[in-house]
A and B are shown apart, each in its own frame.
Chain A
């Protein structure tokens, strides 16, 4: 059974793992930018940035496996156009279109991340902000088009990850606290 349906199972598995890696990359990027503490301690920025990039790269690889497996599967009859052009699919065109757009956003974010040294900060930053709609579109695609999108396990994982992303975005948008330096604290102690 596995041999017969290997491309079908590969498409579903790669889609789920790719979504999980994308979620982890988004969360890790927000941990980096908010300097949030993880498990009670603040991770080193260098380590956080490196892992954020690595997770994004792995998410891209699994997304590529997902797309190739969908095209290769003989059951679904997805042509190359169906996975490259939004609404070109005859099967659930809207649900598939979310995934197509998310794929392009992922490609844009990853390519600009790789070519960051050659881009202006403004261009890189504007493109990197597409990570948020990318995460949203990928999640909607997984829920609406995925065979496993309505399973309790996936719905729970999606809800937890959305809560995490929203919480970190709120932290990111919050007005920054004025840092109190050690020198200021020392002066306050002396004055007291």
Chain B
């Protein structure tokens, strides 16, 4: 029977992680050395930069998109409705000063006291 040098074994021949209900063991959890290895890896830094830039870009894109959508709604509604009816456009926010009890119906569209007649939904 031939013998196999352990150094020639497939590095993927490691046991899988233990099931959820198993006792935690030292070898089954990610080693701190993994974090040290990754921290010294330039590709890891690149990935993190890309993720951070994507997250911040998504944040501002969403903000601008919401503002643009709101402006579009205001523009279209101003041509078809009077300011009084514009107040009744769909809004998912709470009514100013309202005390909504648990289980009560959704709050009515709010009216704004800021001098503008638009709602803040969408």
A joins B in a complex = yes
* Neighbouring B residues of A90 by C-beta, 8 Å: 94, 98-100
Number of residues of chain B lying within 8 A (CB) of chain A: 64
Q: Is B88 an interface residue (CB 8 A)?
A: no
If A10-B63, A17-B58, A182-B10 touch, does A91 touch B48 (CB 8 Å cutoff)?
A: no
Closest partner residue, chain B, to A33 (CB atom)? B17
* Neighbouring A residues of B71 by C-beta, 8 Å: 1
Which secondary structure dominates chain A's binding surface? helix
Q: Is B108 an interface residue (CB 8 A)?
A: no
Number of residues of chain A lying within 8 A (CB) of chain B: 61
Which residues of B (5-24) have their CB < 8 Å from a CB of A?
Answer: 6, 8-10, 12-20, 24
Residues of A within 8 A of B (CB): 1-2, 4-6, 8-10, 12-14, 16-17, 20-21, 32-35, 42, 44-47, 49-51, 53-55, 58, 62, 75-77, 87, 90-94, 117, 121-122, 125, 129, 146-147, 172-173, 175-177, 179-183, 186-187, 190
A to B CB contacts below 8 Å, 13 in the list: A17-B55, A42-B12, A46-B34, A46-B37, A47-B41, A62-B55, A75-B110, A75-B112, A87-B102, A92-B94, A172-B17, A172-B20, A177-B16
